[in-house]
């Protein structure tokens, strides 16, 4: 079986922001992976420690287009907050 290659499309310092972008991609049918997210949650030391948002290489351009498109951030955050309050 051939191993799927993932590429980093964004580097983030905030676990919350990284999870938000991951959720947006997954909602649009793109598998996403966060590299380094656990270390930033356990040891929030700042500096050069960041989270890499990664997607399969074949989805790179589609993922970048989705994240570059305009979307209503307030509406997205309201949806996330209502899910966590249920």
pLDDT digits (tens, 9 = 90+) for 15-46: 888 999 999 999 999 999 998 755 555 555 55
State the Cα–Cα distance between residues 51 and 55, nearest whole angstrom.
13
Q: Are 13 and 50 in contact (CB under 8 A)?
A: yes
Average pLDDT for 47-72: 86
pLDDT at 41: 54
Average pLDDT for 44-60: 82
Q: Alpha carbon of 4 to those of 18, 55, 57, 59: distances in Å?
A: 22, 10, 8, 11
Q: Please state whether the predicted TM-score (pTM) of the whole model is above 0.85.
A: no
pLDDT at 21: 94
């Amino acid at each position: 079986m051939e191993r799927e290659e993932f590429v980093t499309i964004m580097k983030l310092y905030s676990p919350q922001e990284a999870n938000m972008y991951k959720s947006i991609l997954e909602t649009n049918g793109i598998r996403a992976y966060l590299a380094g997210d656990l270390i930033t949650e356990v040891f929030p030391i700042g500096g050069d420690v960041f989270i890499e948002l990664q997607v399969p290489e074949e989805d790179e351009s589609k993922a970048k287009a989705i994240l570059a498109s305009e979307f209503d951030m307030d509406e997205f955050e309201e949806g996330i907050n209502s899910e966590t309050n249920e």
